[in-house]
């Protein structure tokens, strides 16, 4: 009985501690999302960085101590961690702190690979791998983009039998994965599937008209539709479309810069596209050269638009 009561006491204490952690994190998140604090609207970006950092720490502690219920939950903790590392990387990038951004992106890739290795130890037991793929690997565009921009190795996860990497046409994961993996040379794009997916997106209520316009523009730039236009016109059009998703109604998505997050992050998909097509220069939504990662930028990054090398390396539609 003493052992049993001691175990119960430990569980109760863990529950209490988890409750305090949750309350603290919820408070940080409320401030981070621009809530009214003492009657004053705050930007909340510093709080958001604190919130994400704290969440990563808590998830990694839970993962290392294996306190979660079921080994599959341990995997999903890593899924949460790599997404938050990616979000931190975007925020640091927008702030111009490229060293911290690169470190966060490296953390994203490392934790994604760790998740794949750990998940592989479960094999296909009770359909785990298929469920794992649906829940976790649909976000592979995030670590793939982080690796591509940061110049680190990336390993694609194996898809379960009977499941395509590019299912769910018309939904955001499809577009993100298609664009990023096409940039990396791991996917092709056919005109028919692109037209079909855009049509489905227009029927999907989670896609606003502004977001669809930006997505269409991404494909246009990647496949050379803007090849005859000056790079300055391409960048001006992108800036206009990206700013347009500020107006999206409903809960804003941080990773894609919706709503209040539009001034906090960058368009990482467009940055990958610029790298793929061979564009080089200075633009808020472009990843700098390695030599610029640790150097302070003397130019206001939000206003700089300077093309050094015009794009020529487009992806051809099938």
pLDDT per position as a tens digit, 21-56: 443 444 444 445 444 333 333 578 999 999 999 999
pTM of the predicted structure, to 2 decimals? 0.84
Q: Which domain holds residue 99?
A: 1-154
Those residues whose C-beta lies under 8 Å from the C-beta of residue 180, and which sit 6 or more positions away, are 141, 144, 145, 148, 269, 272
Of 5-9, 150-154, 252-256, 272-276, the range with the lowest mean pLDDT is 5-9
Q: Which three-class secondary structure state does DSSP give residue 37?
A: strand
Closest C-alpha to 117, from 83, 87, 82: 82
Question: What is the model's pLDDT at position 119?
Answer: 80
- Is residue 39 domain-shared with residue 180, that is, in the same domain? no
Phi, psi values for residue 151, rounded to 5°? 70, 35
Q: Which residue has the higher pLDDT, 317 or 41?
A: 317
- Is residue 184 domain-shared with residue 117, that is, in the same domain? no
* 251-273 residue pLDDT tens: 889 999 999 999 999 999 999 99
Q: What is the mean pLDDT of residues 299-308?
A: 71
Question: What is the model's pLDDT at position 234?
Answer: 96
**Does residue 159 lie within any of the structural domains?**
no
* 79-95 residue pLDDT tens: 999 999 999 999 999 99
Domain boundary residue among 126, 154, 182? 154
- Is residue 59 domain-shared with residue 134, that is, in the same domain? yes
**Does residue 211 lie within any of the structural domains?**
yes
Question: What is the model's pLDDT at position 21?
Answer: 42
- In this structure, the chain runs to a length of 318
- Is residue 58 domain-shared with residue 182, that is, in the same domain? no
Domain boundary residue among 122, 154, 186? 154
CA distance 236 to 283: 10
- Is residue 294 domain-shared with residue 259, that is, in the same domain? yes
Q: Which residue has the higher pLDDT, 49 or 293?
A: 49
pLDDT, averaged across the chain: 81
* 168-220 residue pLDDT tens: 788 888 899 999 999 999 999 988 999 999 999 988 776 788 999 999 999 99
- Is residue 77 domain-shared with residue 172, that is, in the same domain? no
Highest mean pLDDT among 101-105, 111-115, 298-302: 101-105
- Residue 289 carries which DSSP code? P
- Is residue 67 domain-shared with residue 191, that is, in the same domain? no
Handedness of CA 84, 52, 43, 306 (dihedral sign): negative
CA distance 115 to 79: 7
Q: Where are the alpha helices (DSSP H) in 121-190?
A: 128-135, 141-150, 172-183
Would you say 179 and 219 are in contact if contact means Cβ atoms under 8 Å apart? yes
In the chain, % of residues over pLDDT 90:
53
Question: Exposed (0-12), middle (13-18) or buried (19+): which is 318, by Cβ within 10 Å?
Answer: exposed
**Does residue 160 lie within any of the structural domains?**
no
- Is residue 9 domain-shared with residue 150, that is, in the same domain? yes
Question: What is the model's pLDDT at position 28?
Answer: 47
Would you say 280 and 305 are in contact if contact means Cβ atoms under 8 Å apart? no
- Residue 208 carries which DSSP code? -
The DSSP bridge partners found for residue 306 are 282
Q: What is the mean pLDDT of residues 149-153?
A: 93
**Does residue 239 lie within any of the structural domains?**
yes
Domain boundary residue among 132, 154, 176? 154
Residue 20 has pLDDT above 70, yes or no: no
Q: How many domains does the chain have?
A: 2
Question: What is the model's pLDDT at position 166?
Answer: 77
Residue 228 token pair: 């005859």
- pLDDT band of residue 116 (cuts 50, 70, 90) is confident
**Does residue 101 lie within any of the structural domains?**
yes
- Is residue 138 domain-shared with residue 204, that is, in the same domain? no
- Is residue 121 domain-shared with residue 198, that is, in the same domain? no
């Amino acid at each position: 009985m003493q052992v049993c009561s001691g175990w119960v006491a430990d569980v109760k204490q863990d529950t209490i501690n988890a409750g305090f952690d949750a309350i603290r994190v919820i408070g940080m998140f409320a401030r981070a999302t621009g809530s009214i604090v003492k009657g004053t609207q705050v930007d909340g970006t510093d709080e958001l960085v604190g919130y994400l950092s704290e969440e990563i720490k808590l998830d990694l502690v839970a993962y290392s101590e294996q306190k979660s219920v079921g080994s599959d939950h341990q995997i999903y903790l890593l899924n949460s961690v790599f997404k938050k590392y990616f979000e931190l990387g975007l925020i640091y990038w927008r702030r111009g702190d490229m060293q911290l951004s690169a470190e966060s992106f490296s953390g994203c890739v490392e934790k994604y690979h760790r998740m794949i290795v750990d998940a592989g130890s479960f094999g296909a037991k009770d359909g785990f791998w298929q469920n794992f793929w649906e829940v976790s690997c649909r976000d592979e565009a995030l670590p793939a983009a982080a690796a591509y921009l940061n110049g680190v190795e990336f390993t694609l996860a194996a898809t379960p039998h009977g499941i395509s990497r590019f299912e769910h046409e018309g939904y955001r994961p499809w577009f993100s994965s298609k664009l990023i993996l096409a940039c990396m040379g791991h996917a092709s794009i056919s005109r028919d599937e692109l037209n079909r997916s855009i049509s489905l997106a227009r029927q999907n209520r989670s896609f606003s008209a502004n977001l669809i316009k930006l997505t269409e523009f991404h494909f246009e730039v990647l496949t050379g539709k803007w090849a005859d236009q000056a790079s300055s016109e391409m960048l001006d059009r992108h800036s206009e479309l990206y700013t347009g998703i500020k107006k999206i109604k409903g809960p804003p998505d941080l990773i894609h810069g919706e709503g209040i997050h539009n001034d906090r992050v960058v368009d990482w998909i467009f940055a990958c596209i610029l790298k793929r097509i061979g564009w080089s220069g200075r633009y808020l939504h472009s990843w700098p050269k390695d030599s610029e990662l640790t150097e302070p930028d003397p130019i206001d990054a939000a206003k700089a638009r300077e093309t050094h090398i015009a794009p020529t390396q487009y992806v051809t539609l099938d």
